[in-house]
Structure 1
Amino acid sequence: MTDIRFSAMPTADADHLWNGGSDSYGFLPETMVSDGPGHPCRHCLGNIDADEELLVFAYRPFPAMQPYAETGPIFLHKRRCARYAAEEIAPPALSSSDYIVRGYGENNRIVYGTGAVTPTREIAAYAGGLLARPEIAYVHVRSARNNCFQCRIEKAQDYKESGAFI
């Protein structure tokens, strides 16, 4: 199995929003108050606790617009938080029973036949198997219920700690 790293939203993307920037649709993020679990922050990859403010906004974790560049709603702590650092360990935000795990090629397009609803405990093994294939550049973990982006998984040797998803 290929050695993998779980990759959170790049800090540059979070900083853009924390500094008043707009989302992938050109809108300012909305502020909400968390009512508890179910609001995973895509930067620290932890859950946003009850009564904490969060930002909700449209996010496109791809370098450019194209037909496969999915955009969807995600959450971010309103206050700055540290980017997820335990990249070799499945993040605590992955607390549902299962997720969609899907491979993408170097061209940032879905590699057909790779997407599968995967039990959470099997994500690392499934992603490692996908990343062992030469046509798979990276993997997305997405909500199995709403298709929202959760995190990216990369081969350990390709992992870029502070870079954007490119």
Structure 2
Amino acid sequence: MRYVAIPTPVVRALQAGGLDANGQLPERKLAEGGGNTCRHCLKLIPEGAGMLVLAHRPFPAPQPYAEVGPIFLCAEPCEAGGGEDLPAMLAAPDYIVRGYGVDDRIVYGTGGVVATAAIPARAAELLADDRVDYVHVRSARNNCFQCRVER
């Protein structure tokens, strides 16, 4: 099982001024510290550092289940994060963990709010289900995409 960031080519295009999932230029802001997490390096964006605020659709194409929502990225190029360890940026007490099928649609009955420390066990349980192709970790308060979990 591994935690996967937004693909580097997608991020580099956005950092270079590409349009987001809503066809808009990403907003440029300064990180306020503590709650601004980059979905590419999977780390907290340091306070005062440049960041992008944009709409992201973590799915290959629009369809009824392809949620679009706000995310943050480092404004400057950063290294892709991810791997087998739970990303340190997941610092809230809990998150929504939900499974998706090969058709990129929610597998009903898989979603729920999970304590942060229990994310690895819940993601592994979902990925053991043949109906689940991958898992999203999302904010429990705002439903914002955090990262993807794959086998």
**Percent of counterpart pairs with the same letter?**
54
Query: Could you tell me which residue of structure 2 aligns to residue 25 of structure 1?
Result: 22
TM-score by length of 2: 0.99
Question: Superposition RMSD on alpha carbons, in Å?
Answer: 0.6
Distance in 2 (CA, whole Å) between partners of 1:78 and 1:59 is: 15
SS of equivalent residue, structure 1 residue 121: helix
Q: Structure 2: where are the runs of 5+ without partners?
A: none
Partner deviation per Cα, 1:76-132 (whole Å, 9 max, x = no partner):
0001100004x1000011000000000000000000100010000000000000000
TM-score by length of 1: 0.90
Query: Could you tell me which residue of structure 2 aligns to residue 46 of structure 1?
Result: 43
Distance in 1 (CA, whole Å) between partners of 2:39 and 2:68 is: 14
Structure 1 stretches of 4+ with a deviation exceeding 3 A read none
Query: Could you tell me which residue of structure 2 aligns to residue 130 of structure 1?
Result: 126
Out of 47, 52, 62, the position equivalent to 1:55 is 52
Distance in 1 (CA, whole Å) between partners of 2:111 and 2:28 is: 32
Out of 98, 101, 124, the position equivalent to 1:102 is 98
Query: Could you tell me which residue of structure 1 aligns to residue 115 of structure 2?
Result: 119
Structure with greater contact order relative to length (CA < 8 Å, sep ≥ 6): 1
**Displacement of 1:12:** 1.0
Q: Structure 1: where are the runs of 5+ without partners?
A: 156-166
SS of equivalent residue, structure 1 residue 17: helix
SS of equivalent residue, structure 1 residue 50: coil
